[in-house]
Amino acid sequence: MSRRLHCRISHSLWQELQAEASRTGHSLSHIVQEKLSAAYDLDHHTIFQVSTSTAVTKGLFKGCTRVADLKAHGDFGLGTFEDLDGEMILFEGHAYQARADGVINEAPDEALTPFATVTRFAPERQVILPEIENQTQLEALLDTYRPSENTFIGIRIDGIFRRIELRAACKAAPGEDLVSATSHQSEFSFEEIEGTLVGFWAPAYARSLTVSGYHLHFISKDRSKGGHLIGIQATGLKAQLHLETDFHLAVPETEQFLEADLRDDPSAALAIAEHGHAGERS
């Protein structure tokens, strides 16, 4: 949660802040937070991502980064685990693993991920959403609060969900690509459940690097259930948005990644993974 800071600074510092705001177009709040983050070696407004969406669609599921290393770069995010073994939810500094039955366990620090996206969540905007009957409507509402089609946004949505539909990737067999692996994913739903959606919106131009559009995972308030969002009904949810201005990519050094052909457009395979083989959820 963001905090308001009141303090006195020298006239020369004030002039420097004003000059940088004029030069960059950034707000004073953004500049001060950026400078303080750098001084304390914290990555605010920065996405840290392991590997790329294209690599995942090609079946590069071998883990290359430990959960402990992810936590060093953020307290909020999502991803998957080695061999596509379930859904990852990084929430309030803890990493959770949702498997095929929707049951969650906290992942050990030594667990490996082939793909994950994390940030240090510090929202700039908070809104209460009206009644939502489906995922398409949720995304359309969130669209009205995004400042641009070209920026990355961290998203947290809390409340009681009248119904939530989820899926969890099942452990992939050797040689499977994403489309094959998600053909036997598990789908399930919960009703009248309190919890949080954790995720991101990314621009279309970033689709070869990350999941473009909305990518949201759910975790229940009691940390016992969760998965990848594919359907929703709810009223009065609280949405918080966090503008991301930097994108850091950790390129795997595994032999599998270095030898892969990653020139393809991953959009079609990612659409299947996001929405399921039955087509887009309403």
Q: What is the pLDDT along the chain (282 residues), one digit of tens a residue?
A: 557 788 898 988 999 999 988 887 777 876 787 677 666 655 668 999 999 999 999 999 999 999 999 999 999 999 999 999 999 999 999 999 999 889 999 999 999 999 999 999 988 899 999 999 999 999 999 999 999 999 999 999 999 999 999 999 888 888 888 888 777 788 999 999 999 999 999 999 999 999 999 999 999 999 999 999 999 999 999 999 999 989 999 999 888 899 999 988 888 888 777 765 444 444
Phi and psi at 15, nearest 5°, equal -65, -40
pLDDT tens-digit map of 95-146:
999 998 899 999 999 999 999 999 999 888 999 999 999 999 999 999 999 9
CATH topology of domain 46-275: 60s Ribosomal Protein L30; Chain: A; (3.30.1330)
Closest listed residue to residue 96, CA positions, set 210, 195, 204:
195
Alpha helices for 75-232 (secondary structure H): 135-143, 178-182
**Boundaries of CATH 3.30.1330.80 in the chain?**
46-275
Closest listed residue to residue 266, CA positions, set 167, 200, 181, 177:
177
Residue partners of 51: CB distance under 8 A and separation at least 6: 60, 64, 114, 115, 250, 251, 252, 257
Residue partners of 22: CB distance under 8 A and separation at least 6: none
Pairing of strands 213-220, 226-234: antiparallel
DSSP string, 129-165: ---B-SHHHHHHHHHTT-S-SSSEEEEEEEEEEEEEE
What pTM was estimated for this model as a whole? 0.82
Q: Which residue has the tokens 């392991």?
A: 50
